[in-house]
Amino acid sequence: MVPSKNRLAVSCPTEEQNLIKELVALSTTEQIRKIRELPVSFEEKKHVRLVESSKGFFSKYVTGQYFALYLSFIQKCKEDVYLWVLLCCFLPLQSIRRFGYNIKSARQTLQLWQGIMKEIGGKFGSSVLNYFVLLKWLLLFNIFSFLVNFGFITIPLLVSDLSPNVSPNVSFRGLELLTGAGYFNHTIMYYGSYSNETFRGLVDYDMQLAYFFTISVYMVLCGLVLIFSMASSFKKNYALADQASNSAWQLLCSWDFSITNEKAVNQRKNNLRIQLMESLSEKAHRERQTTSEQLKQYGIYFGSWLLSTGLAVGCGASIFFLCQYEDEVRKSTYCCRNPEAETLLVPFVVSLMNMVIPLFFSLFNKFEQYSSQRKQIYALLFRNVLLRISILGVLCYYWMNMVPQKFTCWEPIVGQALYRLVIVDFIFLMLGSLFGEFLSNVIGTRIQPRLGVPEFDVARNVLEIIYAQTLAWIGIYFSPLLPVIQILKFFILFYLKKVSLTHNCQPPRRSGRAAQMKTIFIFLLFIPFFVGAVSIVAYTAWSLTPSEHCGPFRGLNSTFSVIGEWINDVDKVSSTEWVVWIYQNVIRSEVFYFLITLIILVIIYIFWQLIQGRKELIVLLRKQIANEGKDKSFLLDKLQDLQKSCPKVNKKQKKRTTVCFARFYSKFICLQFFCCCCCFCTLPNVLFFFSTQADAQLSAPLEISPTQTRWFRFYSLASSWRKRRDAAPVAFQSRRTFPPPAP
């Protein structure tokens, strides 16, 4: 194997000069980025870096704004001063960069669970790793929430000595850890213990405003983070992904290089073979379905969807009736043994449903035959989401409508209900891990070896942690310190799942499209669950009357009226009238929102039209590429004919231009072509313009000018070749040689 062919050698002097000139014009970080991205060997990168840094220093510091300084030093004209200037200006740059690198490596060591995630990714692949990454991300949300709540709401309360007093006849029993009531009811855990006063001290600290703004700012920040990550994930993983190239993708892109376990590698090879065979036979199978089979298929779909929806709605209704029953039992005269333990009934039933009903859904899924595996996963996910949303919806309806009428201090009651849900959900998660993974492993290896070792069900587990986080998000308003429980829960869950995974599960059989699933998960996290949680909290703040005798908003008509009162106070100070103006004319006026909605709709419509236009452009460009291929083969034939007819072609000239041009061509075309195609809207005009120019250019020896971009060069050459091909087929001397055809 010839070594020089292995790398794209920057051996052409003009090419290297052009590269250096390009690099010198960029900023330092850009330079480093470009050097790292050069597809050349290490020696050449170091060489380029050295040449560029010495040239770059001069070009930056001699030209431009440092010219005067340099001149003044040069006028003093001592060699030492010159060197001193060099050192003084160059060294600080180096040390700054070194400092930056040190910071970066220090930051890396602080990252949580880095080693464990590498291990899991190496053994099980990136789809399983997605679960743990999501878990870590949600944990960070909770840590932030805890810090913010504790810092802005709880600490002022504790410091000002207005913390609630626990009445002496309530003592701590162990049951509080599960039910959240009793002793905890009088602590800072719940909404009811926070005061509504303004603390006078160094600064006037209004507890009402603090509570309101802390919760709302946290929710808004969460929403923004979710939107941004969803949008970037969607753009990277979904918009550009293509489903048509299934086999090509499976063969060339799907092999996971990070798997290091021999067994896992062999298993992956098996799975790939099965997948390739399936995809080859899928097409044949689809064509063979008759009408009656299709009708039967649709019948099965309809039946299973009806059953699933019925199950979800049924669960919701049963939870509602259970809540009412519990209420009646509480009110009835005969006293049950342990009224507090009875409150655990509803969370228990909810978690039990969440654990058992998805098994039915998986069963339905086995009977249905979807055309692709992805549709199967989506259907299953949708049904599970429907189930959880309906249960949560019913519970929230009950809390919003029934509870405020029955209790005087109702927010802590809701907080306690959420606390119980969170705790019991945690217990069931642990049990689920036990049954789902450990028992399946035992059954699969010892009792029924045909089933085999279970796989880690990523979709189900992800949905569980999203649901758990939703409970926390709803509960933050009613119980500001609920994130503490959530942090502990996720922390323990991480280690539990990791141990269960390594001991009980095998790597997934199908190399699924993990990146797209990640987008779906973030989308799920945001749209039904986060938006739902925020709606519940917003509804509570907007419409419901806070309880009269407890909590920071006691005595007000609604929580939101705290803003109105604050604005009234601000109005009295004359210097802040603009705040009042903004509040009354922007936030409270309906015209503003109407106008904003109208503008956003217009912008969406414009972008939509832009997308349609670009889709057409892509089709045109694809045809262009096919044309280029035909050009290439035509020219190749022509060249072969010429070579046969006149063997004494100027080989030296061909070689020199070939090496430089072919390498330069491939390097820059491949880097720029597909990245730039969507931004290029005025293609026909530019083509025409440069094709006229290119005719003149091709007659001269081929010089590569960096000013003309590679994009234009490609098209100019292409169109001029086509013209010459059509015009004068005989007397054409190709400057470009193509690799000889494969034997």
Partner 1 sequence: MGNKQTIFTAQQLDAYQDCTYFTRKEILRLFYRYRDLAPQLVPLDYTNHPDVKLPYELIGSMPELKDNPFRQRIAEVFSEDGEGNMTLDDFLDMFSVLSEMAPRDLKAYYAFKIYDFNDDDFICKSDLEKTLNKLTRNELTEDEVKMVCEKVIDEADLDNDGRLSLEDFQHMINRAPDFLSTFHIRI
Residues 119-158 that bind partner 1 (CB under 8 A): 121-122, 126
Nearer to partner 1, 121 or 551 (CB): 121
Residues 279-338 close enough to bind partner 1 by CB under 8 A: 280
Query: Smallest distance from the beta carbon of 3 to partner 1, in angstroms?
Result: 4
Question: Binder to partner 1 among 27, 65, 75, 105 (CB under 8 A)?
Answer: 105
Tokens 């349609």, located at residue: 612
Residues 702-741 close enough to bind partner 1 by CB under 8 A: 739
The radius of gyration of the chain from alpha carbons, rounded to an integer in Å, stands at: 34
Query: Smallest distance from the beta carbon of 265 to partner 1, in angstroms?
Result: 5
Residues 576-635 close enough to bind partner 1 by CB under 8 A: 622, 625-626, 628-630, 632-633
CA–CA gap between residue 377 and residue 380 (Å, rounded): 5
Question: Binder to partner 1 among 21, 78, 173, 273 (CB under 8 A)?
Answer: 273
Binding string, residues 6-35; x marks residues near partner 1 by CB under 8 A: x-------------------------x--x
Nearer to partner 1, 8 or 496 (CB): 8
Nearer to partner 1, 40 or 704 (CB): 40
Tell whether residue 272 is a contact of partner 1 (CB under 8 A): yes
Ramachandran angles phi, psi of 172, nearest 5°:
-85, 115
Binding string, residues 658-677; x marks residues near partner 1 by CB under 8 A: --------x--xxx-xx---
Residues 36-95 close enough to bind partner 1 by CB under 8 A: 36-37, 39, 41-43, 45-46, 49, 94
Question: Binder to partner 1 among 144, 249, 397, 583 (CB under 8 A)?
Answer: 249
Could you tell me the two tokens for 570? Answer: 């601000």
Query: Smallest distance from the beta carbon of 245 to partner 1, in angstroms?
Result: 4
Nearer to partner 1, 222 or 501 (CB): 501
Size of the site for partner 1 (CB under 8 A): 81
**Secondary structure (DSSP) of 176-206:** HHHH--GGGGGSTTSGGG----EE-SSS-EE
Question: Binder to partner 1 among 262, 616, 703, 726 (CB under 8 A)?
Answer: 262
- Given a contact cutoff of 8 angstroms between Cβ atoms, the answer to whether 560 and 209 are in contact is no
- Given a contact cutoff of 8 angstroms between Cβ atoms, the answer to whether 424 and 351 are in contact is yes
Tell whether residue 173 is a contact of partner 1 (CB under 8 A): no
Residues 412-431 close enough to bind partner 1 by CB under 8 A: none
Nearer to partner 1, 449 or 629 (CB): 629
**Secondary structure (DSSP) of 353-369:** HHHHHHHHHHHHHHHS-
Q: Tell me, what DSSP letter sits at residue 65?
A: G
Question: Binder to partner 1 among 246, 445, 657, 658 (CB under 8 A)?
Answer: 246
Angle CA 363–365–369, to nearest 5: 135
Widest CA span of the chain, in angstroms?
A: 113
- Given a contact cutoff of 8 angstroms between Cβ atoms, the answer to whether 45 and 14 are in contact is no
Nearer to partner 1, 247 or 692 (CB): 247
559: helix, coil or strand? coil
Query: Smallest distance from the beta carbon of 716 to partner 1, in angstroms?
Result: 18
Nearer to partner 1, 254 or 657 (CB): 254
Residues 494-533 close enough to bind partner 1 by CB under 8 A: 513-516
CA–CA gap between residue 126 and residue 405 (Å, rounded): 50
235: number of CA atoms within 13 Å, CB side?
5
CA–CA gap between residue 26 and residue 668 (Å, rounded): 18
Query: Smallest distance from the beta carbon of 176 to partner 1, in angstroms?
Result: 45
Tell whether residue 240 is a contact of partner 1 (CB under 8 A): yes
Could you tell me the two tokens for 519? Answer: 């987008």
Nearer to partner 1, 142 or 506 (CB): 506
**Secondary structure (DSSP) of 228-289:** HHHHHHHIIIIIS--SS-HHHHHHHT---TT---HHHHHHHHHHHHHHHHHHHHHHHHHHT-
Q: Which residues contact 436 (CB under 8 A, 6 or more apart)?
A: 454, 457, 460
Query: Smallest distance from the beta carbon of 457 to partner 1, in angstroms?
Result: 20
Question: Binder to partner 1 among 197, 256, 326, 455 (CB under 8 A)?
Answer: 256
Binding string, residues 446-475; x marks residues near partner 1 by CB under 8 A: ------------------------------
Q: At what angle do helices 345-367 and 458-478 cross, to 10 degrees?
A: 150
